[in-house]
Amino acid sequence: MARSRGLRRLLVLLLTLALVIGGAYAAVFFVQRSETLVSERCIAVVGGGTAELAPDQAVYASLITAVAVQRGLPPRAATIALATAMQESKLRNIDHGDQAGPDSRGLFQQRPSQGWGSEAQVMDPYYAANAFYDALVQIPGYESMEITEAAQRVQRSAFPTAYAQHEQMGRFFASGLSGQTPEAVQCTLRSAVAAGDPGAVSAGLAQAYGPLVTAVEGQTLVVEATGSQAWSVAQWAVANAKGYEVTQVQVAGRTWDRGQRNGWQDSSGSDGQVRITVSPVGVEG
């Protein structure tokens, strides 16, 4: 009888252990499955309208817009540049051209044979954006031109009206990424997969915007900025969150949290600073 009770206890213990292990496995599977099902994207919401980019496209959109901010150009210049790059390369730094321009390269499909620079130069997104703006600012009254007209004056494309189809995307992302529209840009991303480096974020910002006053507090980069510049830097950080493993951005009492996936929310962030926090460790899944 005692032996029978002992066997029953052992069976109950084994069953309980199996349930615990099974539950843990199911929980891990659910979390991993949930991560896999996340549709990564970045959107810009302006005036009730929405434009969408893939995270890798948003990275280039943020650089193109930041270069305009660094140069003191109006958001309209960034709008024209973004619409142009979307038409020419789908906002990706491609290393090939087409039949009409076999030597075309980069975000703007600039041609070394037409004086845009060497192949290595036009494949550098920072150089390419500056080269585009160098040409754009030479056009009198470009700020008041139709997007497609201004873009065509720079590009001299075989399809001069094609740029117009990307005007809304250009306007919305330029407005958010330039800081003219606070909290317009938000990205839905999976969890960080590696530890982030605040120093790398600082270097990326310095290239995009020029010198900024920054400090590192643990895994957080603190950027001294106010007004539209603060919102430009904050939304640049959101657009670059996937590559830099950014988990949180705080600015002007608002926070974007990678794990929440519900846009910008109230927080205790102080004015005059943008706080960009990166992941301390990688997360599998």
In the chain, where does DSSP find H-type helix? 2-37, 55-70, 75-89, 119-122, 125-136, 147-155, 167-177, 198-209, 227-239, 241-244
Cα–Cα dist 58/61, whole Å:
5
8 A C-beta contact, residue 62 and residue 240 = yes
- Per-domain boundaries in the chain: 44-177, 193-278
Question: What does the pLDDT average to over 222-246?
Answer: 97
Q: Which residue has the higher pLDDT, 273 or 158?
A: 273
Helix (H, G, I), strand (E, B) or coil at 139: coil
The residue to which tokens 């497609």 are assigned: 148
Q: Which residue has the higher pLDDT, 281 or 260?
A: 260
Report whether pLDDT(200) > 80. Answer: yes
Which of 90-94, 97-101, 161-165, 197-201 has the lowest average pLDDT?
97-101
Predicted pLDDT of residue 97 = 65
Report whether pLDDT(156) > 90. Answer: no
pLDDT 10s digits, 31-68: 344 445 679 999 999 999 999 999 999 999 999 999 99
Report whether pLDDT(134) > 70. Answer: yes
Predicted pLDDT of residue 285 = 41
Looking at every residue in the chain, the average pLDDT score rounds to 88
